[in-house]
Protein backbone atom coordinates (compact mmCIF):
# COMPACT_ATOMS: atom_id res chain seq x y z
CA UNK A 1 0.00 0.00 0.00
CA UNK A 2 2.90 2.36 0.75
CA UNK A 3 4.14 2.06 -2.84
CA UNK A 4 0.68 2.66 -4.24
CA UNK A 5 0.19 5.79 -2.14
CA UNK A 6 3.67 7.04 -3.03
CA UNK A 7 2.95 6.52 -6.73
CA UNK A 8 -0.35 8.39 -6.45
CA UNK A 9 1.22 11.30 -4.57
CA UNK A 10 4.09 11.36 -7.07
CA UNK A 11 1.62 11.41 -9.95
CA UNK A 12 -0.15 14.39 -8.39
CA UNK A 13 2.87 16.64 -8.27
CA UNK A 14 4.72 15.30 -5.23
CA UNK A 15 8.47 15.06 -5.78
CA UNK A 16 11.09 13.37 -3.62
CA UNK A 17 11.34 10.43 -1.26
CA UNK A 18 8.16 8.89 0.13
CA UNK A 19 7.84 9.32 3.90
CA UNK A 20 5.31 7.41 6.02
CA UNK A 21 3.71 10.05 8.25
CA UNK A 22 1.26 7.78 10.03
CA UNK A 23 0.61 4.09 10.16
CA UNK A 24 -1.66 2.63 12.80
CA UNK A 25 -4.37 0.02 12.57
CA UNK A 26 -5.64 0.28 9.01
CA UNK A 27 -4.82 3.94 8.37
CA UNK A 28 -1.79 4.86 6.29
CA UNK A 29 -0.55 8.36 5.43
CA UNK A 30 2.37 8.87 3.04
CA UNK A 31 3.97 12.13 1.98
CA UNK A 32 5.91 12.70 -1.22
CA UNK A 33 7.25 16.24 -1.29
CA UNK A 34 4.32 18.66 -1.27
CA UNK A 35 1.62 15.99 -1.61
CA UNK A 36 0.13 13.69 1.04
CA UNK A 37 -1.83 10.52 0.24
CA UNK A 38 -4.04 8.94 2.88
CA UNK A 39 -5.54 5.45 2.81
CA UNK A 40 -8.55 5.75 5.09
CA UNK A 41 -9.64 3.16 7.62
CA UNK A 42 -11.75 0.31 6.29
CA UNK A 43 -14.68 1.54 8.39
CA UNK A 44 -14.56 5.06 6.93
CA UNK A 45 -17.82 6.08 5.33
CA UNK A 46 -19.07 8.91 3.16
CA UNK A 47 -15.55 10.22 2.57
CA UNK A 48 -16.62 11.90 -0.68
CA UNK A 49 -19.27 13.96 1.12
CA UNK A 50 -16.90 14.85 3.95
CA UNK A 51 -14.02 15.79 1.61
CA UNK A 52 -16.35 17.85 -0.54
CA UNK A 53 -17.41 19.81 2.55
CA UNK A 54 -13.72 20.53 3.27
CA UNK A 55 -13.23 21.60 -0.36
CA UNK A 56 -16.16 24.02 -0.01
CA UNK A 57 -14.62 25.65 3.09
CA UNK A 58 -10.98 26.36 2.25
CA UNK A 59 -10.89 29.07 4.93
CA UNK A 60 -11.26 26.38 7.60
CA UNK A 61 -10.05 23.14 6.02
CA UNK A 62 -7.09 22.13 3.97
CA UNK A 63 -8.70 21.54 0.58
CA UNK A 64 -8.26 18.04 -0.92
CA UNK A 65 -6.57 17.52 -4.28
CA UNK A 66 -9.40 16.07 -6.32
CA UNK A 67 -11.93 13.61 -4.98
CA UNK A 68 -11.29 10.43 -2.95
CA UNK A 69 -10.67 7.37 -5.10
CA UNK A 70 -10.60 3.61 -4.73
CA UNK A 71 -7.15 1.99 -4.65
CA UNK A 72 -7.07 -1.79 -4.22
CA UNK A 73 -10.35 -1.70 -2.32
CA UNK A 74 -9.32 1.17 -0.06
CA UNK A 75 -10.52 4.77 -0.12
CA UNK A 76 -7.57 7.08 -0.78
CA UNK A 77 -7.53 10.88 -0.70
CA UNK A 78 -4.83 13.34 -1.72
CA UNK A 79 -3.93 16.58 0.06
CA UNK A 80 -1.35 19.32 -0.13
CA UNK A 81 1.28 18.86 2.59
CA UNK A 82 0.97 21.34 5.45
CA UNK A 83 3.30 22.23 8.28
CA UNK A 84 2.21 20.56 11.52
CA UNK A 85 2.16 22.11 15.01
CA UNK A 86 5.57 21.85 16.70
CA UNK A 87 5.16 18.78 18.93
CA UNK A 88 7.96 19.85 21.27
CA UNK A 89 6.04 22.94 22.35
CA UNK A 90 2.34 22.20 23.04
CA UNK A 91 2.04 25.39 25.12
CA UNK A 92 3.24 27.49 22.18
CA UNK A 93 0.74 25.78 19.85
CA UNK A 94 -1.83 27.98 18.07
CA UNK A 95 -4.57 27.38 20.66
CA UNK A 96 -6.22 30.73 19.93
CA UNK A 97 -6.35 29.93 16.23
CA UNK A 98 -7.79 26.52 17.05
CA UNK A 99 -10.56 28.15 19.11
CA UNK A 100 -11.30 30.64 16.36
CA UNK A 101 -11.43 28.02 13.60
CA UNK A 102 -13.71 25.70 15.58
CA UNK A 103 -16.01 28.62 16.45
CA UNK A 104 -16.26 29.49 12.74
CA UNK A 105 -16.94 25.85 11.83
CA UNK A 106 -19.70 25.53 14.43
CA UNK A 107 -21.33 28.74 13.19
CA UNK A 108 -21.76 27.45 9.62
CA UNK A 109 -25.25 26.70 8.40
CA UNK A 110 -26.01 22.98 8.61
CA UNK A 111 -25.75 21.51 5.10
CA UNK A 112 -27.61 18.49 3.79
CA UNK A 113 -25.76 15.32 2.97
CA UNK A 114 -23.29 15.25 5.85
CA UNK A 115 -23.40 12.19 8.11
CA UNK A 116 -23.33 12.21 11.91
CA UNK A 117 -19.95 13.11 13.42
CA UNK A 118 -17.71 10.31 14.60
CA UNK A 119 -16.46 11.26 18.07
CA UNK A 120 -18.86 9.21 20.27
CA UNK A 121 -18.50 6.20 17.95
CA UNK A 122 -14.73 6.52 18.10
CA UNK A 123 -14.82 6.33 21.91
CA UNK A 124 -16.71 3.05 21.71
CA UNK A 125 -14.48 1.70 18.96
CA UNK A 126 -11.26 2.42 20.85
CA UNK A 127 -12.58 1.12 24.18
CA UNK A 128 -13.80 -2.06 22.51
CA UNK A 129 -10.26 -3.00 21.48
CA UNK A 130 -8.54 -5.34 23.90
CA UNK A 131 -6.25 -3.70 26.45
CA UNK A 132 -3.34 -5.39 28.22
CA UNK A 133 -4.09 -6.74 31.68
CA UNK A 134 -2.36 -4.08 33.78
CA UNK A 135 -3.51 -1.99 36.78
CA UNK A 136 -3.59 1.11 34.53
CA UNK A 137 -5.79 -0.65 31.96
CA UNK A 138 -8.13 -1.76 34.74
CA UNK A 139 -8.43 1.89 35.88
CA UNK A 140 -9.33 2.89 32.32
CA UNK A 141 -11.95 0.17 31.94
CA UNK A 142 -13.41 0.85 35.38
CA UNK A 143 -13.86 4.53 34.49
CA UNK A 144 -15.38 3.61 31.11
CA UNK A 145 -17.84 1.29 32.82
CA UNK A 146 -19.13 4.17 34.96
CA UNK A 147 -19.52 6.50 31.96
CA UNK A 148 -23.09 7.10 30.80
CA UNK A 149 -23.81 5.98 27.24
CA UNK A 150 -22.05 8.57 25.07
CA UNK A 151 -24.67 8.72 22.38
CA UNK A 152 -25.27 11.94 20.56
CA UNK A 153 -27.92 13.85 22.44
CA UNK A 154 -30.80 15.29 20.44
CA UNK A 155 -30.44 18.95 19.57
CA UNK A 156 -27.21 21.01 19.55
CA UNK A 157 -26.70 20.11 15.92
CA UNK A 158 -24.01 21.80 13.89
CA UNK A 159 -21.07 20.83 11.73
CA UNK A 160 -18.27 19.54 13.92
CA UNK A 161 -14.80 18.20 13.16
CA UNK A 162 -15.42 15.08 15.24
CA UNK A 163 -11.82 14.33 16.22
CA UNK A 164 -10.15 17.60 17.11
CA UNK A 165 -6.66 17.58 18.61
CA UNK A 166 -3.45 19.46 17.86
CA UNK A 167 -2.43 16.95 15.20
CA UNK A 168 -5.45 18.11 13.19
CA UNK A 169 -4.02 21.57 12.55
CA UNK A 170 -1.54 22.38 9.81
CA UNK A 171 -0.21 25.63 8.44
CA UNK A 172 -0.60 25.98 4.71
CA UNK A 173 0.30 29.14 2.80
CA UNK A 174 0.55 31.06 6.04
CA UNK A 175 -2.76 30.09 7.62
CA UNK A 176 -3.75 27.40 10.10
CA UNK A 177 -6.31 24.95 8.78
CA UNK A 178 -8.05 21.78 9.92
CA UNK A 179 -7.20 18.42 8.39
CA UNK A 180 -8.67 14.91 8.64
CA UNK A 181 -12.32 14.83 7.64
CA UNK A 182 -12.92 11.18 8.56
CA UNK A 183 -15.11 12.03 11.55
CA UNK A 184 -16.51 15.31 10.23
CA UNK A 185 -20.27 15.55 10.46
CA UNK A 186 -23.28 16.82 12.37
CA UNK A 187 -23.31 16.69 16.11
CA UNK A 188 -22.89 18.44 19.42
CA UNK A 189 -20.05 20.99 19.11
CA UNK A 190 -18.83 20.34 22.67
CA UNK A 191 -17.12 17.20 21.35
CA UNK A 192 -14.62 19.39 19.49
CA UNK A 193 -13.65 21.06 22.77
CA UNK A 194 -13.76 17.92 24.83
CA UNK A 195 -10.22 16.64 24.27
CA UNK A 196 -8.44 19.75 25.62
CA UNK A 197 -11.17 20.01 28.29
CA UNK A 198 -10.60 16.45 29.43
CA UNK A 199 -6.83 16.84 29.50
CA UNK A 200 -7.14 20.09 31.44
CA UNK A 201 -9.47 18.51 34.00
CA UNK A 202 -7.14 15.52 34.23
CA UNK A 203 -4.31 17.84 35.25
CA UNK A 204 -2.27 17.30 32.09
CA UNK A 205 -3.00 20.47 30.11
CA UNK A 206 -2.06 23.69 31.96
CA UNK A 207 -5.09 25.78 33.05
CA UNK A 208 -3.76 28.74 31.11
CA UNK A 209 -3.71 26.80 27.84
CA UNK A 210 -7.27 25.61 28.38
CA UNK A 211 -8.32 29.20 29.14
CA UNK A 212 -6.65 30.51 25.97
CA UNK A 213 -8.42 27.91 23.85
CA UNK A 214 -11.85 28.27 25.44
CA UNK A 215 -11.74 32.10 25.60
CA UNK A 216 -10.79 32.28 21.95
CA UNK A 217 -13.59 29.88 21.02
CA UNK A 218 -16.19 31.87 22.96
CA UNK A 219 -15.02 35.32 21.90
CA UNK A 220 -15.01 34.30 18.23
CA UNK A 221 -18.67 33.38 18.33
CA UNK A 222 -18.46 29.76 19.44
CA UNK A 223 -21.56 28.04 20.73
CA UNK A 224 -22.73 29.55 24.02
CA UNK A 225 -21.96 27.08 26.78
CA UNK A 226 -23.79 28.97 29.52
CA UNK A 227 -22.49 30.11 32.90
CA UNK A 228 -20.78 26.81 33.63
CA UNK A 229 -19.34 25.22 30.47
CA UNK A 230 -18.88 21.94 32.32
CA UNK A 231 -22.60 21.31 32.37
CA UNK A 232 -22.30 20.32 28.72
CA UNK A 233 -18.60 19.53 28.51
CA UNK A 234 -18.30 17.13 31.39
CA UNK A 235 -19.37 13.79 29.92
CA UNK A 236 -17.66 14.26 26.50
CA UNK A 237 -14.51 15.45 28.35
CA UNK A 238 -14.58 12.35 30.54
CA UNK A 239 -15.16 10.17 27.49
CA UNK A 240 -12.16 11.61 25.64
CA UNK A 241 -9.93 11.54 28.73
CA UNK A 242 -10.76 7.83 29.06
CA UNK A 243 -10.23 7.26 25.32
CA UNK A 244 -6.86 9.02 25.46
CA UNK A 245 -5.88 7.01 28.53
CA UNK A 246 -6.74 3.78 26.70
CA UNK A 247 -4.57 4.85 23.77
CA UNK A 248 -1.69 5.69 26.11
CA UNK A 249 -1.89 2.31 27.85
CA UNK A 250 -1.78 0.32 24.61
CA UNK A 251 0.87 2.58 23.11
CA UNK A 252 3.16 2.16 26.13
CA UNK A 253 2.80 -1.63 25.90
CA UNK A 254 3.48 -1.55 22.13
CA UNK A 255 6.62 0.47 22.78
CA UNK A 256 7.69 -1.77 25.67
CA UNK A 257 7.91 1.04 28.21
CA UNK A 258 6.26 2.15 31.43
CA UNK A 259 3.77 5.02 31.52
CA UNK A 260 5.29 8.51 31.61
CA UNK A 261 4.24 11.15 34.15
CA UNK A 262 1.48 12.59 31.95
CA UNK A 263 0.04 9.17 31.29
CA UNK A 264 0.11 8.35 34.99
CA UNK A 265 -1.69 11.64 35.69
CA UNK A 266 -4.32 10.64 33.14
CA UNK A 267 -4.79 7.22 34.76
CA UNK A 268 -5.27 8.96 38.13
CA UNK A 269 -7.99 11.04 36.48
CA UNK A 270 -9.69 7.81 35.35
CA UNK A 271 -9.71 6.70 38.99
CA UNK A 272 -11.28 10.02 40.00
CA UNK A 273 -13.93 9.61 37.29
CA UNK A 274 -14.78 6.18 38.71
CA UNK A 275 -14.93 7.36 42.30
CA UNK A 276 -16.95 10.47 41.38
CA UNK A 277 -19.78 8.13 40.45
CA UNK A 278 -19.32 5.14 42.68
CA UNK A 279 -18.70 7.31 45.79
Residues that bind other proteins (CB under 8 A): 85, 87-91, 93, 122, 126, 163, 165-167, 195-196, 199-207, 210-211, 214, 228-230, 233-234, 237-238, 244, 247-248, 251, 260-263, 265-266, 268-269, 272-273, 276
Do residues 67 and 1 make contact, with C-beta atoms less than 8 angstroms apart?
no
Identify which of residues 59 and 276 has a Cβ nearer to other proteins in the complex.
276
Of the candidates 191, 170, 38, the one whose C-alpha atom is nearest the C-alpha of residue 118 is: 191
Of 37 and 98, nearer to other proteins (C-beta) is 98
User: Cα–Cα–Cα angle for 231, 233, 234, nearest 5°?
Assistant: 75
Q: Containing H/E element for 74?
A: strand 74-80
Residue in 116, 125, 122 with CA at minimum distance from that of residue 184 = 116
Residue closer to other proteins (CB basis): 10 or 41: 41
CA atoms within 13 A on the CB side of 176: 18
State which residue, 53 or 164, has the beta carbon closest to other proteins. 164
**For residues 99 and 125, is the Cβ–Cβ distance under 8 A?**
no
CB of 250 to other proteins, least distance (A): 11
Computed on alpha carbons and rounded to an integer, the radius of gyration of the chain in Å comes to 19
User: Cβ closer to other proteins: 23 or 58?
Assistant: 23
Smaller CB distance to other proteins: residue 35 or 205? 205
Q: Are the C-beta atoms of 172 and 64 separated by less than 8 Å?
A: no
Least distance from other proteins to the Cβ atom of residue 234, Å: 5
Do residues 53 and 111 lie in contact, with contact meaning Cβ atoms separated by under 8 Å?
yes
Phi, psi of 34, deg, nearest 5: -90, 10
For the bound state, the minimum distance from the C-beta of residue 137 to other proteins, rounded and expressed in Å, comes to 16
Amino acid sequence: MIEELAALAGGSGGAGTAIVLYQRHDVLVVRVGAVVAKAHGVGSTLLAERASFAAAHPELFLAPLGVPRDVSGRTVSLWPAGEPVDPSDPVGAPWEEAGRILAALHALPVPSGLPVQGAPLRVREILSRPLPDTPAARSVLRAYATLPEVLEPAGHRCVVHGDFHLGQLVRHRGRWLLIDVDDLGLGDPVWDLARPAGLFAAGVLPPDVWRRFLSSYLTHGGVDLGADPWTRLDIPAQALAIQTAARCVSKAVDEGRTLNEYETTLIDACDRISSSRTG
